[in-house]
Amino acid sequence: MEFRTFSQSLYGRAGVAPACLGLQDRRGLDVNLLLLCCWAGGQGRSLDREALAMLASAIGPWRANVVEPLRAVRRWLKANPESVAGAPDLRRRILDTEIEAERLAQGRLSSAVAESPAAAGREPLAAAAANLRAYLAMMGVAPGASEYADLAAILGGCFPDRAPAEITGLLG
């Protein structure tokens, strides 16, 4: 399954979007990279810190100069819907543009992951959990209870047939 299709499916599962957004808002993590960790892991591919740093740098300028400013404007308009006539309609159009910008970032990530050094052949859940742990480590995030809960929600959405205890056991 291609990354875009996978990420749309996973993001739409119960609890995944709030978990991703929580990690984004609290810890500055990139939702696309969180989803990519699961996608690669689902294929048995392990991404180490070096590979994740390369992937983050592949989309870093796009994220900083396009996605994050669009998000900031959209959020401001949401918090201030009465700021000017037509603001809610503008916010919806900006959301569509932000989603398109995220889609373009996903395309770049798909290409970059194909070029990245990634070990294959691991058990998918273990690989996805290791990828997420490596991403947090690469970002300098020491996970606490909230982060572990969010990561477990993401992995639970990705691997709904696996026991929650098995998922949490692989995270910490």
| pLDDT value at 125 more than 90 | yes
The pLDDT tens digits of the residues spanning 142-162 come to: 999 999 999 999 999 999 999
Q: What is the mean pLDDT of residues 33-37?
A: 97
pTM reported for the whole predicted model: 0.92
The pLDDT of residue 89: 93
Q: Which domain holds residue 14?
A: 3-171
Better-scored residue on pLDDT, 87 or 154: 154
* pLDDT level of residue 138 (50, 70, 90 thresholds): very high
- Report the domain count for the chain: 1
Contact 1, 36 (CB under 8 A): no
| pLDDT value at 118 more than 70 | no
The pLDDT of residue 116: 66
